[in-house]
Chains A and B, each alone.
Chain A
């Protein structure tokens, strides 16, 4: 390779590297999704155009929870916090895990094969788990919280009394933990939050402001579900 040609190749590489490192053009929604789809993990997409919480893998929409509306909740006066789209968030903290807890019997009795056959012998049983939550909020690495709930008030204390309580806390010199800005996906039914709560694990990617899926095998529409899908 001639010296001039080598210099040209080197310059091209350097120019590309500079452009990439400078982040001249932020990634668009498809490029962000493309990076997610290259891996076998599930990811969630909050679409910008038609509100829905879409469950995807490899670019394929497996299911979607219909969303009545997306709301931004924040604490304090002034304008709402700015939300530039698209953004890729990662869940850093799973929802409250109390609903998952089951405690084994405090005392275990020695195993006997006959116990399995003798149905009349009552065996000590674990405590039944509480029901799954119908609303929840998770922390993300963006500084925002993401919540799924039938109403904003379920996840952001908007009432007068909560405001009074915060005021009293301040009067008494107690710390008032500020609520981070929260994106609330307001779902139509409580069951909608229950059926996706287990997907919000630490590390789960959420593409906020994503595009409609390139392919969907979403199950047949149920009552109240969004039906306009490719």
Chain B
């Protein structure tokens, strides 16, 4: 067994004792520096990200137009275009603002509040889907009916929370369409309404609803074959 040598100092003997550490003070200093460090790190991150993120810029379109393609307008093409413009009496329907106009050679004869398609989609849970859009573009009045009867389709019941009835007699509705109807084809009609307070709002399932007096005017004035423009 060897004796411990005196000339080899043990670490315990050589190393002076460290001063008493105030752990609480260091922690407090660290905590005080933390927000500033975090802010610096965040700023650095933002700067780096902003530097490498592609900016989105925008300029007036005149700054992007590089060439006016094509020759000057051909007078013949302009004349051809003018010949396509509808003449005579037409019906124009603004479906978003709920406005129907009857014009003759560009002069307005009548303006009326109307209701057009809501543009919504009715989804029968787990089943069918219906889209309630008013058609857009040019159509013609293909038929006029007095005292129209509506055979209510399935969506009319689903929308009201009921199952469609099995008997067709329960689908017959001779009130809702008013006194007259003008067919635009594909099941779309210009007709009357029980909901006159909603005129001007897009609330229908695609048809055009008019108030009683306006409907009678349109019925009397607009003939079969008249062009109807919907937008």
A positions within 8 Å CB-CB of B = 25-31, 33-34, 37-38, 40-42, 55, 57-60, 62-63, 69-77, 80-87, 97, 99-113, 115, 123-126, 129, 132, 152, 156-158, 160, 162-171, 176, 178-179, 183-184, 194-196, 198-199, 201, 209, 211, 214-215, 217, 219
Across the A-B interface, how many residue pairs have beta carbons closer than 8 Å? 249
- B residues engaging A (CB < 8 A)? 45-46, 48-61, 63-74, 77-78, 80-82, 84-86, 92, 94-97, 99, 101, 103, 106, 108, 118-125, 131, 133, 136-139, 157-165, 170, 229, 231
Interface of B is mostly: mixed
- Complex CA gap A34/B48 in Å reads 52
Are A74 and B57 CB-contacts (below 8 A) given A111-B170, A198-B96?
Answer: yes
In the complex, the answer to whether A82 meets B170 with C-beta atoms within 8 Å is: no
Task: Specify which chain B residues have a CB less than 8 angstroms from the CB of A115 in the assembled complex.
Answer: 162
Q: Report Cα–Cα, A229/B174, bound state, in Å.
A: 45
14 more CB-based (< 8 A) A-B contacts, given A84-B68, A102-B121, A198-B136: A26-B70, A28-B73, A28-B77, A31-B74, A33-B81, A34-B81, A76-B55, A77-B55, A80-B59, A104-B159, A108-B157, A111-B162, A113-B170, A176-B54
Q: Which residue of B lies closest to A98 (CB)?
A: B121
Contact of B70 among A29, A34, A55, A179 (CB under 8 A): A29
Name the residue on A nearest B138 (C-beta).
Answer: A40
Residues of A contacting B162 in the complex (Cβ-Cβ under 8 angstroms): 108-112, 115, 123
Given A30-B77, A101-B123, A110-B163, A84–B69 Cβ distance below 8 Å?
A: yes
- Are B51's CB and A158's CB within 8 A? no
Taking a contact as CB atoms under 8 Å apart, the answer to whether A72 and B58 are in contact is yes
- Cβ of B231 and Cβ of A31 under 8 Å apart? no
> Which residues of chain A are near B119, meaning CB under 8 Å?
99-100, 132, 198
Q: Select A102's contact among B55, B84, B101, B123, beta carbons within 8 Å.
A: B123
The answer to whether A71 and B56 have CB atoms under 8 Å apart is no
A108 in complex: contacting residue of B61, B108, B133, B163, CB < 8 Å: B163
Q: Which residues of B contact A201 (CB under 8 A)?
A: 136
A14 to B196, CA, bound (A): 63
Q: What residue in chain B is nearest A158 (Cβ atoms)?
A: B56
Taking CB atoms, residues of chain A closer than 8 Å to B74 are: 28, 30-31
Given contacts A29-B73, A84-B69, A125-B161, is CB(A70)–CB(B61) below 8 Å?
A: yes
Q: How far, in Å, is A46 (CB) from chain B's closest CB?
A: 9
Contact of A164 (CB < 8 Å), options: B50, B59, B68, B161: B50
Q: Chain A CB within 10 Å — which of B52, B108, B124 has the most? A: B52
Of A73, A162, A170, the residue contacting B58 (CB under 8 A) is A73
Which of B55, B74, B131 has the largest count of A CB atoms less than 10 A from its CB?
Answer: B55
Whose C-beta in chain B lies nearest to the C-beta of A196? B96
Give the residues in chain B near A73, CB-CB below 8 Å. 56-58
Hey, which chain A residues are within 8 Å of B95, CB to CB? 198
Question: In the complex, which residues of chain A have a beta carbon less than 8 angstroms from the beta carbon of B101?
Answer: 217, 219
What residues of B have a CB within 8 angstroms of the CB of A108 in the complex?
157-158, 161-163
Q: 14 A-B residue contacts at CB 8 Å?
A: A29-B73, A71-B61, A75-B56, A75-B57, A84-B67, A101-B120, A104-B158, A111-B157, A113-B170, A157-B56, A163-B49, A168-B53, A171-B52, A183-B61
Q: Per a CB cutoff under 8 Å, which of B54, B64, B85, B164 touches A72?
A: B64
Residues of B within 8 A of A168 (CB): 45, 49, 53
Distance, CA A112 to CA B160, complexed state (A): 12
What's the Cα separation between A162 and B57 when bound, in Å?
12
Q: Which residue of A lies closest to B66 (CB)?
A: A82
Q: Is B163 a contact of A111 with CB atoms below 8 Å?
A: yes
CB–CB B55/A38 < 8 A: no
B85 to chain A, nearest CB (A): 5
Residues of chain B lying within 8 A (CB to CB) of residue A33: 81
Report the separation of the CA atoms of residues A158 and B117 in the bound assembly, to the nearest whole angstrom: 36
Nearest CB of chain B from residue A122's CB, rounded to whole Å? 9
The CB with the most chain A CB atoms within 10 A, among B50, B61, B71, is that of: B61
CB-based contact B56/A74 at 8 Å? yes
